[in-house]
Amino acid sequence: MKLLVTVKRVIDYNVQIRVKADGSGVEKDNVKMSMNPPDENAVEEALRIKEAGKADEIIILSVGNDKAQETIRTALAMGADRGIHVKTENDLEPLAISKIISKVAEEEKPSIILMGKQAIDDDSNQTGQMTSALLNWPQATFASKIEIDGQNAIVTREIDEGLERIKVSIPFVASCDLRLNEPRYASLPNIMKAKKKPIDTKEASSLGINIESRIEQIKVEEPPVRQKGIMVSDVAELVQKLKHEAKVI
């Protein structure tokens, strides 16, 4: 069984996001970048499935500029087998990413596609669902537990009401929750081995799919600064200020 895991290079979650002076986007120059945290859980889950003897190969897929290969190498150092880099200089929308994943899946024919439930930069939470629809595969989103059982999988999902267990047939698409597992750290020997593992690079434009953006980003700006709170002496004063100053009642 072959596993395809998608990873995205994002601004590190510990970095304070800064908007560019011209409002065209967020500052990425000289900013620490890392693998999207939920994608780390997807890589870890793939490794555990392989270590349990239920998978033979783990392929890492990333879409982006040349530096996306650094993220692929991180996953290879964790223990994945090989990488695929679809090169583009543009920031693509979730639908375009889903089309690329689907195209690669048609070529590689994986049994399971694993990805993070959402990226921490755009928070779209759309790629897994769109990929499932394009491939016409079952989907298991927000997975907090995955159990492979022959040609099926039992997936525990986190929903508003609690936990939901569903049964999906293989092949399927799963988006991984942070509570699925604890990603491992890459050991120094594996980091050295990762440098020799193959990464197949192809241009996004060569895939024969339409990845043009359908949404125009007009401006990015900081959220409004929160005003300093005030103390009130009693409930009557609170009601007075809510009614006449805040005008919310």
Domain boundaries, the chain: 2-221
pLDDT higher than 90, residue 141: yes
Angle at 176 between CA 99 and CA 13, to 5 degrees: 95
pLDDT tens-digit series, residues 149-166: 889 999 999 888 889 999
User: Considering just the CA atoms, what is the radius of gyration of the chain in Å?
Assistant: 21
Cα within 13 Å of Cα(34), Cβ side: 11
- The whole-number average pLDDT for the span 132-156 is 94
Could you tell me the maximum CA-CA distance found in the chain, to the nearest angstrom?
Answer: 71
The answer to whether 174 and 128 have CB atoms below 8 angstroms apart is yes
For residue range 29-50, what is the model confidence (pLDDT) as tens digits?
Answer: 888 999 999 999 999 999 999 9
Portion of the chain with pLDDT greater than 90, in percent: 69
pLDDT at site 25: 83
Position 246 scores a pLDDT of 82
Does the pLDDT at position 16 exceed 90? no
pTM across the whole model? 0.85
Nearest Cα to Cα of residue 112 among 123, 101, 122, 120: 101
What's the pLDDT at 28? 84
Tell me, what DSSP letter sits at residue 111? S
Going by pLDDT thresholds of 50, 70 and 90, the confidence category of residue 18 is confident
For domain 2-221, give the CATH number. Answer: 3.40.50.620
pLDDT in the model for residue 159: 86
Mean pLDDT of 51-80: 94
**Across residues 66-93, what is the average pLDDT?**
93
Question: Is 176's pLDDT higher than 90?
Answer: yes
Residue 44's pLDDT is 97
